[in-house]
Structure 1
Amino acid sequence: MQSPFIVELNEQNFRQVLEGSMQTPVLIHFWAPMNQESAQIIPDLQMLAQQYNGAFTLALLNCEQEQAIASQFGVQALPTIALFLNGQAVDGMGGPQTIEAIKGMLTKHLPSQDELTLKQVSELIQAGQHAQALPLLEGLEDALKQKGDIKLALADCYLETQNFDQAKALLEHIPLEYQDNYYKGLVAKLELHAQAANSPEIQSLEASLEQEPDNIELINKLALSYHQVNRDEEALELLWNLLKSDLNALDGELKKSFMDILAALGQGNPVAGKYRRQLYSVLY
């Protein structure tokens, strides 16, 4: 398995790999092809290293090929696992082990999966990559997502990905101790969006439509104005109320506006999915 977190130990690199444990823990697996149990667990160890995503380096030492190195470590039996931190062995296990037992050993010395995920999320948000951070946050356990700092990070990602209703729902339930400058900045962003989403132009169009509820051109203009400020569900509903009975309303302009909004929202958007299904039910 090709991975930056997995290396084959040999005479040329083993000192460098051990020195690397000054920065990143190194888990050495001593094995040999003739020892079935030591060879069978390698795929599970490789998968574990990938799951930890760089929190430790897995170093595989084939004791048949690298007998000199194995003897330096004083390995008595196969398989043997040894965890190195700061150049020193801090833990180990001799004899056949389950992957769960090895995970248990690592847990004592390494950050948890949730801690690693949150570290990655923090780096992504700082880099402005909120769309990539969002699914990682949404994948956390519900209990963790109830924490104030996680709610703030989620609200930040929702704001930046224009999921304003979800951001608003979270920001309304932030514990007092988390209502810091970060929180205030997010609330200010939400308020700016709310102001833009109810601009004088939109208010004027809404007032005109109240006076002329059957004016199709006004309906089209208001729907497009809603879309410009991310009020997409209102825009689609406004258009759909006419299109469901006349797909060619306004010489096809309404249908074009409707399709343009769906395209802008993309395939994965749940609101777009709802209105696509309604459109297909009429078309087919």
Structure 2
Amino acid sequence: MTSLRTALETIGYEVMPFRGTREAVLDHVPRTIGLTVTASPQKGIQAGVDLAVRLAADGYRVAPHLSAKLVASRAHLDELLGRIAGAGIDRLFVIGGDGEPTGDYADALTLLHAIRDGGHTFTDIGIAGYPEGHATIPDESLLAALKAKAALADHVTTQVCFDPVAVSAWARSVAAHGVGIPVQVGVPGAVARQKLLRISASIGVGDSARFLRKQSALLRRFFTPGGFDPTRLVRGFRAGLAEPANPIAGFHVFTFNDVAGTERWRRRMLERS
């Protein structure tokens, strides 16, 4: 059971390794906010790790994305994990990724096993969940994969869904089927319209951009004249957060690198809660 205020205080922001990202984070994001850094086929896995290492040196709690399909080999994985751990980073977010594998790892589960079998220890590993299902994977297969991954992870972060009731029902359902780790709800940040359009024009830059192309019609329902306002969506989870048996623990915000607008929004929400 979590209050809305606590969820806003313990929120996490996702950023993408673009030019100027580090400077924007330093200017606008308190070091109490946990960060994840995406990986993409265009930027490569190294760009995300590089930014994560820099942000960790700046005093942030950071989790770089490791995309299974972008890891070339066992040696490549050990090199990445050694650099991550050497920077004092003890958190990861493990995803399968898009396209064809570039090396030995075809999916997140295979990569999770390799991380464990290699003796690398991290205090928090996140995995992805799909409250609205997946376009190409049957629901039964998704659930089986989620259960297998959950045994090697510490929390699950959902893809964006604009229906809090559906997300809460999904969270209870997967918990009833044996997924015993907390759920972080993925929500869009407070993003200026121009920035959102620029980011959404980039193809394949990570989960936080892909959902725009899949859910653009729903997204428009939440737009204000200046951009996206997540207030109504986040408040829709108030009841679910308060349920003792609901595994929802908080929010993971896809900022689209508009960390300034998202942090202003969070502070306004805290003032009102």
TM-score, structure 2 length as denominator? Answer: 0.24
More strand by share: 2
More helix by share: 1
Computing the radius of gyration from Cα coordinates, the structure with the larger value is 1
